[in-house]
């Protein structure tokens, strides 16, 4: 089960070594049958647990958001407070069920720029719940939407009041009304007629009234606000602030600060656009708020650096308070250096002390109090270094893999090709490095990663080959497939449980 600790640098957390986890398959949603062709719109493009871990949201390329809810807590009468007091290491089998789905975004066309805007969901972020309603943000390339999902009672007509007693009562009312009306003669005189007792008269039909009931409940998703016209480039990330009132959105060159209640105005807090676009050397790839300090946020760049900024310093935060980047080894620069150094995702640890970053080749763990270099480095794709030319040819080298941390900070995880994902232990003395396949029977693999690449980057040909392969083998002889990739995954906030997306399927594992 353990793949050794190759590429593991200094320990990230102090304390005794934590024993490796034994991962087990839990559930799968949207499983494909053998030979079934997957529609492009069904491929999952975003995953996010809410703060309690009781709800999970996924977004797909078709612009839909699907919500799942935890059922094993309700079924067994568990309470959230009891669960928070439980030991984190206790193995529990989480069970989720489909809750609802809604169409979040539709394809659009920007007539001013003659650009088609895809409906694909780039990111989903949960907001604070209130009065039993769920709130979340979802975004495509240009538009952010704020959704409220709430149970509403469905009113429907279940029956007519055809009860005999009710009929008699209605008949009495009708007869009394009819009896009170007096016929008039042609000359205007009133013809008096004896009024019979209404209670004894049954010759009038019953007045039927519908009975409306509201017993059933239905989940209704309503778009509360639309935040638009604030980004010239594609939105790559959104992040909620711990104050519960604001959030940020980031594209290649700018980061905007929004108030949840105000959709027609945002504040530009970071702008890296040069006066002359020819001088552009790096772009913003991801941005995230600190989990507890509402004045701090971090953003990563295509050059492999992470900048920590403090909103208290100035309104425009173009100057960072801290810069985290790893120095290049002398003589190691090549054609691919900047491409593989680009950070595709960053995540703050739950305690806010560490930042996890994912570039194409590795995971890096940073201590925000130590900007000299990462405290731990985990090699994920080192065995692909000899194939960088092929990866460039088929555009796989530009794939953006996400990363996540466990709630206790003892482990980190990320995805890879062939629908594999990797879990590393980052506590002191840990050698945990497990590779699993997203399937009902997760096959544990030991991917041997050499300390040094078999070929130096300098020896790679500058003239790139055409017709590159889509498949190959790692250093241990295991075949891998560039066409299947596990890009999106999320760790449960308080348990050892992982949700990951392989194409249109959502797999869940626990340990």
For residue 394, give the CATH number of its domain. Answer: 2.130.10.10
Domain-embedded: residue 179: no
- The structural domain count of the chain equals 1
The model's confidence at residue 83, banded by pLDDT at 50, 70 and 90, is very low
Domain-embedded: residue 487: yes
Domain-embedded: residue 463: yes
Determine the pLDDT at residue 193: 46
pLDDT at 459 over 60: no
What are the C-alpha distances in Å from 18 to residues 377, 410, 414, 429, 483? Answer: 18, 8, 19, 8, 35
What are the C-alpha distances in Å from 50 to residues 68, 78, 124, 126? Answer: 11, 18, 10, 5
Determine the pLDDT at residue 178: 45
Domain-embedded: residue 157: no
Stretch 241-250: mean pLDDT? 96
The 3-state DSSP class for residue 214 equals: coil
Enclosing domain of residue 486: 24-149+225-510
pLDDT at 354 over 70: yes
Domain-embedded: residue 236: yes
Domain-embedded: residue 192: no
Determine the pLDDT at residue 75: 45
Domain-embedded: residue 72: yes
User: Mind listing the pLDDT tens digit for each residue in 283-323?
Assistant: 999 999 999 999 999 999 999 999 999 999 888 888 888 99
Determine the pLDDT at residue 206: 64
Round the average pLDDT of the chain to a whole number and report it: 81
Determine the pLDDT at residue 205: 58
Determine the pLDDT at residue 368: 95
Determine the pLDDT at residue 315: 81
Share of the chain above pLDDT 70, in %: 75
- The two beta strands, 96-103 and 362-367, are unpaired
Buried b (16+ CB within 10 A) or exposed e, 399-429: bbbbbbbbbbbbbbbbbbbbbbbbbbbbbee
User: Mind listing the pLDDT tens digit for each residue in 117-134?
Assistant: 999 999 999 998 888 899
What are the C-alpha distances in Å from 170 to residues 175, 210, 404? Answer: 9, 13, 67
| pTM of the model as a whole | 0.78
């Amino acid at each position: 089960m353990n793949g050794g600790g190759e590429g593991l640098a200094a320990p990230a957390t102090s304390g005794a070594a934590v024993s490796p986890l034994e991962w087990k398959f839990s559930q799968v949603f949207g499983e494909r049958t053998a030979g079934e062709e997957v529609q492009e719109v069904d491929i999952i493009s975003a995953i996010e647990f809410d703060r309690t871990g009781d709800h999970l949201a996924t977004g797909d390329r078709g612009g839909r958001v699907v919500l799942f809810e935890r059922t094993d807590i309700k079924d067994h009468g568990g309470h959230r407070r009891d669960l928070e007091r439980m030991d984190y290491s206790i193995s529990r089998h989480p069970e989720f069920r489909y809750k609802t789905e809604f169409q979040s975004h539709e394809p659009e066309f920007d007539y001013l720029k003659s650009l088609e805007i895809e409906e694909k969901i780039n990111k989903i972020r949960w907001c604070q719940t209130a009065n039993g309603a769920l709130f979340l943000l979802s975004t495509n390339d240009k538009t952010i939407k704020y959704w409220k999902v709430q149970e509403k009672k469905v009113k429907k007509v279940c029956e007519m009041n055809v009860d005999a007693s009710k009929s008699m009562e209605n008949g009495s009312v009708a007869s009394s009304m009819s009896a009170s009306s007096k016929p008039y003669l042609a000359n205007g005189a009133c013809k008096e007629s004896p009024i019979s007792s209404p209670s004894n008269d049954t010759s009038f039909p019953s007045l039927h009234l519908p009975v409306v009931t509201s017993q059933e409940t239905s989940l209704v998703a309503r778009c509360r606000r639309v935040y638009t016209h604030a980004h010239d480039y594609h939105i790559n990330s959104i992040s909620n602030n711990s104050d519960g009132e604001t959030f940020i959105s980031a594209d290649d060159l700018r980061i905007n600060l929004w108030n949840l209640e105000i959709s027609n105005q945002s504040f530009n807090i970071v702008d890296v656009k040069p006066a002359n676009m020819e001088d552009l050397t790096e772009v913003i790839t991801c941005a995230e708020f600190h989990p507890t300090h509402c004045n701090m946020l971090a953003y990563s760049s295509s050059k492999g650096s992470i900048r920590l900024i403090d909103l208290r310093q100035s309104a425009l935060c173009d100057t960072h308070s801290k810069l985290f980047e790893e120095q290049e080894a002398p003589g190691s620069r090549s054609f691919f250096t900047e491409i593989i150094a680009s950070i595709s995702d960053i995540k703050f640890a739950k305690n806010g002390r560490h930042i996890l970053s994912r570039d194409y080749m590795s995971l890096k763990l940073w201590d925000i109090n130590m900007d000299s270099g990462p405290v731990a480095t985990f090699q994920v794709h080192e065995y692909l270094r000899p194939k960088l030319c092929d990866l460039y040819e088929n555009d796989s080298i530009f794939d953006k893999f996400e990363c996540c941390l466990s709630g206790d900070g003892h482990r980190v995880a990320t995805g890879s090709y062939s629908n594999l994902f990797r879990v590393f232990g980052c506590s002191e003395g840990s050698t945990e490095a497990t590779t699993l396949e997203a399937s009902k029977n997760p096959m544990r693999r030991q991917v041997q990663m050499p300390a040094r690449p078999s070929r130096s980057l300098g020896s790679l040909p500058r003239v790139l080959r055409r017709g590159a392969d889509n498949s190959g083998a790692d250093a241990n002889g295991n075949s891998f497939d560039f066409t299947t990739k596990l890009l999106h995954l999320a760790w449960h906030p308080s348990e050892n449980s992982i949700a990951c997306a392989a194409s249109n399927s959502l797999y869940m594992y626990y340990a």
